[in-house]
Structure 1
Amino acid sequence: MPSDAEEKSEDKARGNGEWITIEFLQELLDGEEGVRVVEREVSDAVGAGDNYLSIMYQVRAVVENAKTGRREDRVFLVKGLPSAKILRDVVEDYGIFRKELYTYNVCLPAMKRIMEEYMPDEMDSFIAAGSYPCREPNVLALEDLKLSGYKMAHRRKQLDFRHTVVTLASLARFHALSVRLVKSMPEVTEVYLRDEFYSREKRHMVYPHVAKAVKSWLKVMQEDEAIRTLLPDVAKATKKSTDKMIRAVSHRDGSFTALTHGDSWTNNFMYRYDADGRVVHAKIVDFQLTRYSTPVLDLLFLFVTSTRPEVMAESFPELVAAYHKALISDMTKLRLDPDCFPSLEEIYAEIKARSISGIISMVIQTAVVVAKPSDAANFENVDAEEMEKSEDHILEKNFRDDYYKEVVFKYLKLFQEWGYLKSAEEMPVEDSNESSSPS
């Protein structure tokens, strides 16, 4: 029988948003004297396939000033646990929501104070949305960036060169701010080293997911004449992929290390445009998979899930250089020790050394990112044990999507050309009881 806390958690995960009451909204505004919430309207904030590890609502509240009687609209984004039990279990088992709450409640306010001290003229380009104090567990209340002119990009169309550069600049600022943050609050690193998805301690939980996805992907891609020519190299690169991923995402002494976003795909950013329609800034809107490791993991994830392969083929050196330039610029403004600045060559070396991260993200996450809304994976009635026993992977339909196969072929050709498949194949891994298995 579920506990009261579990029932309350499940209630907040239901897809109707009825739990977002006037009383709940009033608590969010407790800091504003003489303001009373009199009406509220709740609607879904994202569509099918746009978000998996949480459920998000747009909430319009009518608030009344007790002194003047004047009414005005307020808009919030309210984020709770995903409605599908299998995803909710993942979020709770890995401490995903706890980590995001810590990021919004502790780290981002501290980063904002750092910017106010070192970069006061650039506060309008802070990296994230503001949040409201919320006493409810497993619930976040955020400002709606749409009111400030921010828009989402089209995940299936992926990002052009300019959007990618702007996204990299925001990631670089997050990375740089985190380095300064860790100097004054070293304890934050422990939060982001705990509950890690890819960890030796939780390998037994991750292994079936990754191994099955890789096996299913290799089987499906046998049907594609173009990709089939690359499969021998991909199969060698993804052998023992779980252990390689654990090594790739781990913190290593001697490497440039920062807080990393961990899930840097299109829908986790919102973009602001100038009067001519040119993108000028990106804000990060999700921090569920933040970890303490090498920032190149964010670059690899962004490149293979969200940057158009044509842009990668034509401008990869320019993209990496743009990230490095933005990172060094911000670290300089934050008056960090130049001895800790990574060189451009070190960034390239880290990308190659951890290329397996890009390959696995390409196989699994890109299939989700570019999926048609009608093909979005539905986890609502999926049983974890049945899914584990099934011969078919839940993403097989996505693997067969023509556009997905088209972009993955282009990415893989680039990874082969740049030596990244070979680097992943040769990546050393620790021995484990299951290391002899293919994935």
Structure 2
Amino acid sequence: MAQTTTTESTKVLTWINAENFQSVFEENVPGYRKTLNFEVKETGGGGENYASVMMRVKAKLELQDGSTKDIAFMIKTIPEGEQGVAVVQMMGLFPKETLMYGKYLREFEETYRSVGKEVTFGPKFYKLKNDPGAEYVLLEDISPKGFKNVKRQDGLDTDHTKSVLKILAELHAVSAVRFEQKGNYENSLMVSTFREDSRESLETMLKPLMKILVNCFSKHETGIKYLPKLKPFFDKMAERYIEDSKLNLEDFNVIIHGDLWTNNIMFRHNEEGKREETILIDYQMSRYSSPVLDLFYFLLSSPSLDIKVSCFDEFIQYYHENLVENLKLLKYPKKIPTLKQLRMDLMKYSFWSIAITTGVLTAVLLDPTENASMNNFFEQNEEAKDFQTQLYANPRYIKHLDVLLPWMDKMGYLDDN
């Protein structure tokens, strides 16, 4: 058996080794004979992953005919640190993502295949034969096939944005059809990660963060102008997260991705630089809910600033056209939601425009820093407070606020209803 090579940061994870991966090789590599080399390396820097630690596994295999084959995987494990572990376990992220990759994404792909359409919702998913006694998600590493992320601080252009909306509409449509055909998903997908039983811990995490947010907003012109409308939301942020996350079965609902920002989207381009394929990754926050949660999350976090507001209506219409097309293809048995209904739902769930603008967008726009971690989002030590201040005082973030807050006010999204 080949010796496992690790970087210093991954030596503690002794279960990521060639022996434990042998069953994966035997089941998925035709003609596998033995492992010649096995390497583990932590990937991504500060600010690229928050709810997990990402590692790349590379192996060189010898086949029965004497030839060799290189194979690569991405493995996600739970982040270190007491606060980070508590948040991830409270949300049940790893079991949920295992359910999505191991069951539903493949089922959704097969549903499209049955009507003559090829759709890929994520990388190939694997399970280790021996339980390592740790939470993990093991996936094909698709970067050798040419897939990569864009620079999150720059954002996506119109073509890349529409390609994401297209695959998002495909995911939403097939998950809505599946619900009508087979009924409820597992309970972990039918309830929000923000629940009444987590109110106390949520308030404990959010209240200090909101104080820093208000302090930073008080130091620039746009923040000062809109604080009177935003302050009521900040004062009861945990309550709004819980209330606005409750499933309403009267709505048009789908399986949402739940964490749709640039780092969870990969693109493959040809030699001329033209985009050829788009794929989504990281389904830890998926659940059955209104599709507008994904729309707010993605459209306010990920397109470049020059199109984020100016093309918002166009993007919503483009998504709706693709949603309708796929619902019809899959013979959705209920009345298909109209564009008017979708826009009404955007207003109904407009709190999420505030949640995304004052939450995930700060992390998207922050320059790489080793202080970026799940713990530092919520801890109260000096390092954490410095990191939290960096999030809200970032000049790039303030530039986005100068555009987003006036638009959100004009749309009525800042009205407390």
How far did residue 18 of structure 1 move?
A: 4.5
How far did residue 213 of structure 1 move?
A: 2.4
Matching residue's letter, 2:91: Y
Q: 1:41 to 1:416 in 2, by over 3 A?
A: same
SS at match of 2:51: coil
2:253 pairs with one of 257, 268, 280: 257
CA contact (8 A) 2:52 2:79 kept: yes
**Match for residue 104 of structure 1?**
101
**Match for residue 361 of structure 2?**
366
**Match for residue 304 of structure 2?**
308
Q: 1:296 to 1:89 in 2, by over 3 A?
A: same
**Match for residue 35 of structure 2?**
37
Separation in structure 1 between the aligned mates of residue 59 and residue 384 of structure 2, nearest angstrom: 47
SS at match of 1:129: coil
Matched, 1:142 2:139: yes
**Match for residue 294 of structure 1?**
290
Matching residue's letter, 2:72: V
**Match for residue 154 of structure 1?**
151
Separation in structure 1 between the aligned mates of residue 73 and residue 171 of structure 2, nearest angstrom: 23
Q: 1:383 to 1:107 in 2, by over 3 A?
A: closer
CA contact (8 A) 1:57 1:78 kept: yes
1:59 pairs with one of 57, 60, 67: 57
**Match for residue 48 of structure 2?**
50
2:414 pairs with one of 397, 410, 421: 421
Matched, 1:323 2:316: no
Pairs within 5 Å for 1:83-102 = 83-102=80-99
SS at match of 1:395: helix
Matching residue's letter, 1:20: I
SS at match of 1:223: coil
1:95-128 deviations in Å (ceiling 9; x for gaps): 111111111111112112212212x3x32x4121
**Match for residue 175 of structure 1?**
172
Of 248-257 and 135-144, the range deviating more from structure 2? 135-144
SS at match of 1:172: helix
SS at match of 2:357: helix
Separation in structure 1 between the aligned mates of residue 341 and residue 83 of structure 2, nearest angstrom: 39
Q: 1:71 to 1:375 in 2, by over 3 A?
A: closer
SS at match of 1:359: helix
How far did residue 250 of structure 1 move?
A: 1.8
SS at match of 2:244: helix
Q: TM-score, normalised by structure 2?
A: 0.90
**Match for residue 199 of structure 1?**
195
Separation in structure 1 between the aligned mates of residue 384 and residue 396 of structure 2, nearest angstrom: 24
Q: 1:93 to 1:68 in 2, by over 3 A?
A: same
**Match for residue 15 of structure 2?**
19
**Match for residue 124 of structure 2?**
130
Q: TM-score, normalised by structure 1?
A: 0.86
Matched, 1:164 2:158: no
Among the aligned pairs, what percent are the same residue? 23
How far did residue 321 of structure 1 move?
A: 0.4
Matching residue's letter, 2:180: K
Pairs within 5 Å for 1:378-393 = 378=373, 387=380, 392=385
Aligned pair count reads 404
Of 267-276 and 51-60, the range deviating more from structure 2? 267-276
SS at match of 2:153: coil
Q: 1:44 to 1:392 in 2, by over 3 A?
A: closer
How far did residue 30 of structure 1 move?
A: 2.9
Matched, 1:352 2:347: yes
SS at match of 2:310: helix
CA contact (8 A) 1:166 1:280 kept: no
Separation in structure 1 between the aligned mates of residue 101 and residue 267 of structure 2, nearest angstrom: 20
SS at match of 2:196: coil
Gaps of 5+ in 2: 1-8
CA contact (8 A) 2:10 2:40 kept: no
